[in-house]
Amino acid sequence: MAPVPSIPKAAFWMALSIASFLAMSVAGRATTAELNVFQVLELRSVIGFFILLPLVMTNGGFAAMRTERPLAHLARNVVHYAGQAAWLYALTLIPLAVLISIEFTTPIWTAILAVSFLGEKLSRLRLAAIVLGLVGVVIIVRPGVGSVDPGHLVVLGAAVCFGISVVMVKSLTRTDSVVRIIFWMLIIQSVLGLIPALYVWRNPPVELWPWILLVAFTGMSSHFCMARALAHADATVVSPMDFLRVPLSALIGWLLYHEQIDAFTAGGALLILLGNLLNLQRKPPRAAEVAAS
């Protein structure tokens, strides 16, 4: 049985997803300072698989993980793996708040692809939420003020990959459970990253293992919660909620890495918050819709 559409439930799962993504940002910066990006991705997938196993066993075991859409899972994870590699690499190049801000071109691609391929409707409220969020991001990044950092272009490429991935996940939630989607994500990405990881492998220092475990857990939990949110609401509703990561990442960057928050960042964050509040509004159903329900 498909989950009942519910914006409050989608918002709850997105809050958990955002918390996981923020924790993964901090852990990712700590691990990529010592290890190659491909090794970090491989450790994340392999350890994440064992973390997921209890959920697999309580949801029917390995037999329940069979899917009728293997090619869709493969395509989604090839794109997502490329996006994750680019994102982690950019994490070593530019400030956290700037990285997250540029990443939030993702809803543009998500909205366009969801409308084009999933048949979702882009209402005026949803469009306004996306526009406000993107204006807020532009205010924070202020493109054209200085030279373009290569890290900016790397994150932009990651954002395109993430937009494609979000739409594919939404499509997969129509036929596959969330646990099954995450199961195949960890399996496929472990295989994809094995050879690159072995090529650059070095034994992690003992003090780095807590960060590695945190990357693995949040790498799994962030996508599990995202998929649960997408099961309760359209991608055009869920994706703008994620804009809240911009001001929150700026706060973390200030607290942990002494990255400054200026008036532009604060103003952009307010617009992003306004866009999210607008996105959560729902019009009352028309009489005809009530009668038909």
* Greater model confidence, 95 or 17: 17
Task: Write down the pLDDT at residue 291.
Answer: 29
Task: Write down the pLDDT at residue 145.
Answer: 59
Q: What is the mean pLDDT of residues 19-48?
A: 93
Banded pLDDT at 288 (limits 50, 70, 90) = very low
* Greater model confidence, 284 or 41: 41
* Greater model confidence, 140 or 285: 140
Statement: residue 101 has pLDDT above 60 = yes
pTM: 0.77
* Greater model confidence, 13 or 233: 13
Task: Write down the pLDDT at residue 200.
Answer: 94
Statement: residue 290 has pLDDT above 60 = no
Task: Write down the pLDDT at residue 213.
Answer: 95
Q: What is the mean pLDDT of residues 158-179?
A: 86
Task: Write down the pLDDT at residue 158.
Answer: 92
pLDDT by residue (tens digit) across 110-147?
Answer: 777 777 776 777 778 777 877 887 787 777 766 655 66
Phi-psi region of 258 (alpha: psi -120 to 50; beta: other; left: phi over 0): left
The winner for highest mean pLDDT among 28-42, 88-102, 116-130 is 28-42
Banded pLDDT at 75 (limits 50, 70, 90) = very high
Q: What amino acid is encoded at 105 in this protein?
A: T
Task: Write down the pLDDT at residue 45.
Answer: 92
Statement: residue 46 has pLDDT above 90 = yes
* Greater model confidence, 259 or 89: 89
Between CA 222 and CA 217 the distance in angstroms is 8
Query: Under 8 Å CB-to-CB from 154, ≥6 apart: which residues?
Result: 86, 89, 90, 93
Encoded tokens for 128:
């306004």
Task: Write down the pLDDT at residue 258.
Answer: 82
Q: In this predicted structure, which of 5-19, 54-68, 193-207, 219-233 has the lowest mean pLDDT?
A: 219-233
Phi-psi region of 234 (alpha: psi -120 to 50; beta: other; left: phi over 0): beta
CB 195 within 8 A of CB 8: no
- Please, what is the Cα angle at 62 between 65 and 238, to 5 degrees? 35
Encoded tokens for 49:
């698989």
SS (H, E, C) the chain: CCCCCCHHHHHHHHHHHHHHHHHHHHHHHHHHCCCCHHHHHHHHHHHHHHHHHHHHHHCCCHHHHCCCCHHHHHHHHHHHHHHHHHHHHHHCCCCHHHHHHHHCCHHHHHHHHHHHHHCCCCCHHHHHHHHHHHHHHHHHHCCCCCCCCHHHHHHHHHHHHHHHHHHHHHHHCCCCCHHHHHHHHHHHHHHHHHHHHHHCCCCCCHHHHHHHHHHHHHHHHHHHHHHHHHHHCCHHHHHHHHHHHHHHHHHHHHHHHCCCCCHHHHHHHHHHHHHHHHHCCCCCCCHHHHHHC
pLDDT by residue (tens digit) across 234-276?
Answer: 877 787 777 778 788 888 888 888 877 777 767 877 787 777 6
Establish how many alpha carbons lie within 13 A of residue 178's alpha carbon, considering only the half-sphere containing its beta carbon. Answer: 20
Encoded tokens for 52:
């997921």
- Please, what is the Cα angle at 72 between 8 and 230, to 5 degrees? 5
Task: Write down the pLDDT at residue 191.
Answer: 95
Q: What is the mean pLDDT of residues 158-184?
A: 87
